[in-house]
Amino acid sequence: MDEGNFYIMVKELVNGFKNFRDSYFEKRSQVLQQLAEKGQSPQTMVICCSDSRVEPSILFGTGPGDLFVVRNVANLVPPFTSKDNVSIGSALEYAVKILRVKDIIVLGHAHCGGVAALCKSINNDKEGEITDNPTDFIKSWVDIAKPALSKIYFDHKDENIEVNSERAVLLYSYNNLLTYPWLNDAVNKNSLEIHAWWLDFKSVMLWKKAQGSDSFIPMDF
């Protein structure tokens, strides 16, 4: 992005905030003032990818105070025992112990660059190749989910490798939620429910993990 385009984008963001203040805020000032004064009490936590195409509040038609959102590359939830769980672990702990959310949704999506990076990492490791574009953090982060793809990559050739890889990583994060003792305890007490959803924004379809199965079925509207 050249300097001219950079300043155009910054100006658009500033104008966007002005529209928020003059229009959105004015129409919802009472609710937003209550949020400012009394704090948040969302019922749902969403763990999703940092991908700019995946915006939970737009996708689900929610407003300020409705969702407690955590975003990272590839919508990953490391296991409780992982040294990489401090950021997501603190958010989960706050959501479950303090906010006492009723639902946690792990939201994956099609054409995920983070999962693609993981697939490339696995292939490079398998073939003993050194990447031409080494990264400081991306590889070590996405490699957290390597166990999710080992069966897909090493046991058979999958024709739907992209979709199945994305869903496998999503299920890995979903299952890792239950490794957090206080979260698992809340699920067992039926005070919390966890969900795995996968978004295909090209076909505008939302899929969910089937109950008692690792398969995904279209959301029934």
Indicate which CATH number applies to the domain containing 113. Answer: 3.40.1050.10
Where residue 85 falls among pLDDT bands split at 50, 70, 90?
A: confident
Are 165 and 214 found together in one domain? yes
Are 23 and 46 found together in one domain? no
Are 3 and 73 found together in one domain? no
Are 61 and 9 found together in one domain? no
What confidence score (pLDDT) does residue 157 get?
57
Are 68 and 28 found together in one domain? no
**Into how many domains does the chain fold?**
2
Are 117 and 212 found together in one domain? yes
pTM of the model: 0.89
Are 64 and 54 found together in one domain? yes
More confident residue, 39 or 121: 39
DSSP conformation letters of 158-188? -TTHHHHHHHHHHHHHHHHHTTSHHHHHHHH
Burial class (CB in 10 A: 0-12, 13-18, 19+), 175: middle
pLDDT digits (tens, 9 = 90+) for 156-196: 455 688 899 999 999 999 999 999 999 999 999 999 999 99
Are 170 and 97 found together in one domain? yes
Are 212 and 107 found together in one domain? yes
Cα–Cα distance measured from residue 108 to residue 164, given in angstroms and rounded to the nearest whole number: 11
Whether 200 shows a pLDDT value over 50: the answer reads: yes
DSSP conformation letters of 14-56? HHHHHHIIIIIHHHTHHHHHHHHHH----SEEEEEE--TT--H
pLDDT digits (tens, 9 = 90+) for 100-117: 999 999 999 999 999 999
Do the Cβ atoms of 64 and 90 come closer than 8 Å? no
Q: What angle do CA 192, 114, 96 make, to 5 degrees?
A: 15
Where residue 155 falls among pLDDT bands split at 50, 70, 90?
A: very low
Range of the domain at 180: 40-218
Where residue 4 falls among pLDDT bands split at 50, 70, 90?
A: low
Q: At what angle do helices 113-127 and 161-177 cross, to 10 degrees?
A: 100
Are 11 and 69 found together in one domain? no
